[in-house]
A and B are shown apart, each in its own frame.
Chain A
Amino acid sequence: MAFRRYLSALSLFICAPVLAAELSISVEIPKLDVAEYHRPYVAVWLERDGAHAANLAVWYQLERNGQGAEKGEEWLKDMRQWWRRSGRNLDMPVDGISGATKAPGVHTLTFTPGKGVLADLPAGEYQLLVEAAREVGGREVLKVPFQWPPQKEESHSAKGSSELGTLNLQLIP
């Protein structure tokens, strides 16, 4: 772990961030015909060379029925991979990342060139990960590998089979 962190810290020095490219993601939450439906918890993040690089979104139960956001944190650990890679080291909520759970449908995340997470994203081999965990439901992780920065306009996708529909990643140089 420490070694990985050291490596990624090192690579920050070697690789200058790439400012111009744009990244957008669409995550489909499928409509499920189940007796008891709760919107899934979803985490969207990037890993670079196998190490956690950046969180893009975490959708979980914020305030509801007078219960504070702390209550919803109880199930963050069910996104087991995300929890292990990043969540357990965070103090939720995190500005710009935390959001309420989403209804079934396609949800798009667009990241402006040179801003936010893209402001200091070094060049390298990446993986986009999306993990969904649903109360009284299942869990699914989708992965999409990509190169950053993109050389040309590219689109990558993966298809879920239970908790996630189509995941699409759009890269524009």
Chain B
Amino acid sequence: MKISHSLAGALLAALLIPAAHAHRAWIVPAATVLSSEDPWVTFDAAVSNDIFHADHAPMRLEGVKAIGPDGKEVPLQNTAVGKYRSVFDVNLKQKGTYKITSFSGGLRARWETEDGERRSWPNRGAQATEEAFAKEVPKKAKNLEVSYGSRRMETFVTAGSPDAKVFVPSNQGLELVPVTHPNDLFAGEKAEFKFLIDGKPAVGAKVEIIPGGMRYRNQQDSINVQSDKNGSITVTWPKAGLYWMSVSYEDDKAKKPAKKRSASYVATFEVLPE
């Protein structure tokens, strides 16, 4: 009984870990640079181990939003959730850069009961409200760990000339501020991005960049860098193609009742040949 309980607890804990750590979540646009009037872009969204190979689980689209160059939300059209991937289309009626984004954040807690059973909060799928937290999480418990975690996932597409209006920070969680525009990336060139955590430079964020097409090579070929004192990284794209970037950040500057603040940011970029 005890064993199965703690097993269940461990499983639950595993499910609560941001997907970026277990499987990899991604949203891939079929094109990122568009020249026609009134273009459309179709997107695939899934969770899988091999980047951009949809073979594990579709992404739920409830939290996914498209934001237009004027900062207003644009509808996802023709949405469908398949066995392994979700799809949707976005009509780029205005010129400029669009952001496809999904954000979630909330309190999380872990502790052990007097009998040594592991507990975690919130239950999968439950709302992590502060009210529920006060009711359901003990004030004192063995190995009580309270953290505030957030996840953001994005990709960008541009009709005409790239602009920066969708990059105005919300000062929530981990965010990308472009020095180099994400729709202006070319093989052999250096790109610079800055990361913010709750609006301040995210110093020492761990960044992993993996080229797509893992099935056709033997190594991950990941680029690993850490953000500097300004929260910035630079990367030189080794070749043209799609790239998946995962950024993780953690510190102890969380708002009460959390002690730990952790955040992840995942994005897909297209790098074109010069």
- Interfacial residues, chain A to chain B (CB-CB below 8 A): 70-71, 73-77, 80-81, 83-84, 87-89
How distant is A13 from chain B, measured CB to nearest CB, in Å?
26
Asked if A88 contacts B36 (CB within 8 A), the reply is no
Which residue, A70, A87, A88, has most C-beta atoms of chain B within 10 A? A88
A residues less than 8 Å from B272 (CB atoms)? 80
4 nearest A-B pairs in the assembled complex, by CB-CB distance? A74-B36, A77-B35, A76-B35, A70-B37
Asked if B274 contacts A73 (CB within 8 A), the reply is no
Asked if B35 contacts A83 (CB within 8 A), the reply is yes
A residues less than 8 Å from B186 (CB atoms)? 84
Which residue, B37, B158, B162, B272, has most C-beta atoms of chain A within 10 A? B37
Asked if A83 contacts B36 (CB within 8 A), the reply is no
Which residue, A71, A76, A80, A89, has most C-beta atoms of chain B within 10 A? A80
A73-B37, A88-B35 are known; give 14 further A-B pairs, CB within 8 A: A70-B36, A73-B36, A74-B35, A74-B36, A74-B39, A77-B35, A80-B273, A80-B274, A81-B274, A83-B35, A84-B186, A87-B35, A88-B33, A88-B158
A residues less than 8 Å from B36 (CB atoms)? 70-71, 73-74, 76
Q: Number of B interface residues at 8 Å Cβ cutoff, please give it.
A: 16
Asked if A84 contacts B35 (CB within 8 A), the reply is no
Report how far A70 CA is from B37 CA in the complex, Å.
6
Name the residue on B nearest A72 (C-beta).
Answer: B36
Which residue, B33, B35, B158, B162, has most C-beta atoms of chain A within 10 A? B35
* B184 contacts the other chain (CB 8 A): yes
A residues less than 8 Å from B273 (CB atoms)? 80
| B103-162 CB contacts (< 8 Å) to partner A | 158, 160-162
Asked if A75 contacts B184 (CB within 8 A), the reply is no
Report how far A89 CA is from B35 CA in the complex, Å.
10
B residues less than 8 Å from A80 (CB atoms)? 33, 272-274
A residues less than 8 Å from B57 (CB atoms)? none
**Provided the pairs A80-B272, A88-B161 are in contact, do residues A75 and B37 lie with their beta carbons within 8 angstroms?**
no
Asked if A84 contacts B34 (CB within 8 A), the reply is no
How distant is B240 from chain A, measured CB to nearest CB, in Å?
10
Name the residue on B nearest A92 (C-beta).
Answer: B35
B residues less than 8 Å from A71 (CB atoms)? 36
Asked if A89 contacts B161 (CB within 8 A), the reply is yes
The 8 A CB mask of B163-199 against A (1 = contact, 0 = none) is 0000000000000000000001010000000000000
B residues less than 8 Å from A77 (CB atoms)? 33-35
Asked if A88 contacts B274 (CB within 8 A), the reply is no
Report how far A74 CA is from B37 CA in the complex, Å.
7
How distant is A103 from chain B, measured CB to nearest CB, in Å?
23
B residues less than 8 Å from A88 (CB atoms)? 33, 35, 158, 160-162
A residues less than 8 Å from B33 (CB atoms)? 77, 80, 83, 88
Partner of B184, one of A73, A84, A87, A89: A84
Report how far A35 CA is from B186 CA in the complex, Å.
31
B residues less than 8 Å from A75 (CB atoms)? 35
Report how far A88 CA is from B36 CA in the complex, Å.
10
Which residue, B36, B39, B158, B186, has most C-beta atoms of chain A within 10 A? B36
Name the residue on B nearest A80 (C-beta).
Answer: B272
Which residue, A71, A76, A84, A87, has most C-beta atoms of chain B within 10 A? A84
Report how far A61 CA is from B158 CA in the complex, Å.
22
A residues less than 8 Å from B161 (CB atoms)? 88-89
Report how far A76 CA is from B186 CA in the complex, Å.
17
Report how far A88 CA is from B35 CA in the complex, Å.
7
B residues less than 8 Å from A76 (CB atoms)? 35-36
B residues less than 8 Å from A74 (CB atoms)? 35-36, 39
A residues less than 8 Å from B274 (CB atoms)? 80-81
Report how far A106 CA is from B44 CA in the complex, Å.
44
Name the residue on B nearest A78 (C-beta).
Answer: B35
How distant is B189 from chain A, measured CB to nearest CB, in Å?
11
A residues less than 8 Å from B184 (CB atoms)? 84
Report how far A77 CA is from B36 CA in the complex, Å.
8
